C-alpha cells in the first residue's frame, strides 16, 4: 500500500468525522441546557425557557443576517449598530408615522444591497466598509433617539408576546427562522448560486451568473434579517436605545462560527447558526448567572465557551487527517 493511500481516510471515518462536526452545535446547546438543569431544575419549564430565551429571538435573527454575509466570504461589523438603529426607527417613526417607518426600513434593506454591490464593484474589504457603516448607523440612531425612550408599536408587542401552547414562543420562532434560512440558502436553486459566489466565484461567473447580483442579494438578505432583529428586539423591550444592539456584532459572529460556519465563503449552516445563537444566548446570562459568575467575567466566560467548541472542531478534523 502506498503512502498516499495510507494517508487517505476511509469513507466511514470521513462520514463519522463530518457527522461529529455537524452535531457539535447541538451537543454544545444540550450541554448548556444540562448545566442549567443541574444548577436550577426549576428553569427547565415552559416559563423558564420563555424567560431565558426571550432575547434569543433577535440574536438568532442577527446571527442569520451575519451568516448570509459570511456565506459570501465577507464579514459585517455593522450589524450590531444597524440593529440599534432599526430599534430606534421602530420605536419612533414606525409607531407614530407607520408609512415613514416602513419606507425607512425598506430603505435600510436597499442600502445594505447597495453596500454589497459597492464592495464587489470596487473590490473593497467588507470589514473596512462595514466598520465605517457601523459609525454611520450609530450616529443616525443617536440623532433619531438621543436618549433611551420611544415605544414599540402595539402590534409588534403583541407579536412578540404570543404564548403558544406546549412549546415556548422563542423556540417556535427560532425553528421558524432556521427553516426560512435553510430553505433560502440550502434548498433553493438560487441559494446554491449565493453559496457558490462565496465558495467558488470563478465557477459561478463562468456558468453565466452575475456575481454582482449575488453579492447584492446576500447583503439584502442580511439587511432584511437585521431589520427583523431590530423590530423583534424593540417588541420585546417595548422601548429603544441607540446602543441597545452594540453587542450583537460579536454575538452574531460567534453564533455563526459556533454553528459550524467558517470564514470561508460558501460554508455556512442556517440551522447551525440558530443553534449557535441559542447557545450563546443561554450561556450569556442564565448559565453564568446560575453559576454566580460576576458580570465582569461573563464576557470572558462566553469567549471561553466559543474557544472550547472551536478547539473541539479542530481536534475532530485533525484526528480525521491523521487517520
Give Cβ neighbours of residue 271 (< 8 Å, ≥ 6 apart): 178, 181, 182, 259
CB atoms within 10 A of CB 321: 11
In the chain, pLDDT over 90 holds for what percent of residues? 60
Q: How far apart are the first and last CA of the chain?
A: 15
Q: What are phi and psi of 218, to 5 degrees?
A: -60, -45
Instruction: List the Cα angle 212/215/220 in 5-degree steps.
Output: 120
- For residues 43 and 106, which has the higher predicted lDDT (pLDDT)? 106
How many CB atoms lie under 10 A from the CB of residue 282? 21
Can you read off the three cell numbers belonging to residue 23? 452535531
Taking the C-alpha atoms of residue 226 and residue 109, their distance in angstroms, rounded to an integer, is 9
Q: Which residues of 63-81 are buried (b: 16+ CB within 10 A; e: fewer)?
A: bbbbbbbbbbbbbbbbbbb
Could you tell me the pLDDT band of residue 89, with boundaries at 50, 70 and 90?
Answer: very high
pLDDT in tens, 49-71: 888 888 899 999 999 999 999 99
Pairwise CA distance, residues 133 & 127, whole Å: 10
CA of residue 83 relative to chain centroid, distance:
12
Q: What is the mean pLDDT of the chain?
A: 87
Residue 166 φ/ψ region, left for φ over 0, alpha for ψ in the -120 to 50 degree band, beta for the rest: left
Phi-psi region of 267 (alpha: psi -120 to 50; beta: other; left: phi over 0): beta
In tens, the pLDDT along 199-210 reads 888 999 999 999
Of 141, 98, 102, 106, nearest in space to 240 by CA: 141
Q: Are the CB atoms for 286 and 44 separated by under 8 Å?
A: no
- DSSP H helices in the chain: 3-7, 11-39, 46-53, 56-71, 79-91, 93-96, 98-121, 126-144, 154-160, 169-182, 189-199, 201-206, 211-237, 248-258, 270-282, 288-290, 295-322
For 261-301, the pLDDT digits (tens) are 887 766 788 999 999 999 888 877 666 666 676 666 666 66
Q: Go through the chain and tell me how many residues it has.
A: 323
pLDDT per residue as tens digits for the range 215-272? 999 999 999 999 999 999 999 999 999 999 998 998 899 889 888 888 776 678 899 9
Output the CA angle 209-214-216, nearest 5 degrees: 140
pLDDT tens sequence across 94-142: 999 999 999 999 999 999 999 999 999 999 999 999 999 999 999 999 9
* Cell reading at 197: 459566489
Quote the CA–CA distance of 108 and 228 in Å, as a whole number: 11
Under 8 Å between Cβ of 160 and 56: no
| Cβ neighbours for 277, distance < 8 A, ≥ 6 positions apart | 56, 59, 60, 62, 63, 64, 174, 251, 252, 255, 259
Residue-range domains of the chain with CATH: 56-322 (1.10.3470)
Are 99 and 45 spatial neighbours (Cβ–Cβ below 8 Å)? no
Whether the full predicted model's pTM is greater than 0.85, yes or no, is: yes
- pLDDT tens digits, residue range 144-159? 999 999 999 999 999 9
Amino acid at each position: 500500500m502506498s503512502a498516499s493511500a495510507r494517508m487517505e481516510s476511509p469513507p466511514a471515518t470521513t462520514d463519522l468525522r463530518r457527522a461529529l462536526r455537524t452535531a457539535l452545535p447541538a451537543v454544545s446547546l444540550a450541554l448548556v441546557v444540562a448545566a442549567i438543569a443541574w444548577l436550577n431544575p426549576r428553569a427547565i419549564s415552559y416559563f423558564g425557557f420563555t424567560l431565558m430565551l426571550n432575547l434569543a429571538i433577535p440574536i438568532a435573527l442577527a446571527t442569520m443576517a451575519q451568516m448570509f454575509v459570511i456565506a459570501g466570504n465577507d464579514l459585517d461589523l455593522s450589524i450590531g449598530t444597524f440593529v440599534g438603529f432599526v430599534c430606534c426607527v421602530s420605536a419612533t417613526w414606525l409607531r407614530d408615522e407607520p408609512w415613514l417607518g416602513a419606507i425607512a426600513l425598506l430603505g435600510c434593506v436597499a442600502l445594505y444591497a447597495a453596500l454589497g454591490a459597492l464592495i464587489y464593484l470596487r473590490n473593497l474589504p467588507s470589514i473596512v466598509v462595514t466598520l465605517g457603516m457601523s459609525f454611520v448607523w450609530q450616529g443616525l440612531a443617536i440623532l433619531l433617539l438621543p436618549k433611551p425612550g420611544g415605544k414599540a408599536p402595539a402590534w409588534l408587542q403583541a407579536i412578540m408576546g404570543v404564548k403558544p401552547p406546549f412549546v415556548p414562543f422563542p423556540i417556535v420562532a427560532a425553528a421558524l427562522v432556521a427553516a426560512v434560512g435553510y430553505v433560502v440558502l440550502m434548498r433553493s436553486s438560487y441559494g446554491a448560486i449565493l453559496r457558490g459566489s462565496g465558495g467558488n466565484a470563478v465557477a459561478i461567473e463562468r456558468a453565466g451568473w452575475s456575481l454582482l447580483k449575488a453579492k447584492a442579494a446576500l447583503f439584502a438578505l442580511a439587511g432584511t434579517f437585521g431589520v427583523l432583529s431590530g423590530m423583534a428586539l424593540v417588541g420585546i423591550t417595548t422601548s429603544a436605545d441607540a446602543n441597545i444592539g452594540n453587542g450583537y456584532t460579536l454575538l452574531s459572529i460567534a453564533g455563526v462560527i459556533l454553528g459550524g460556519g467558517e470564514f470561508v465563503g460558501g460554508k455556512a449552516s442556517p440551522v447551525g447558526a440558530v443553534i449557535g445563537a441559542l447557545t450563546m444566548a443561554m450561556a450569556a446570562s442564565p448559565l453564568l448567572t446560575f453559576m454566580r459568575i460576576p458580570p465582569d467575567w461573563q464576557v470572558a466566560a462566553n469567549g471561553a465557551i466559543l474557544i472550547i467548541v472551536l478547539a473541539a472542531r479542530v481536534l475532530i478534523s485533525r484526528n480525521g487527517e491523521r487517520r
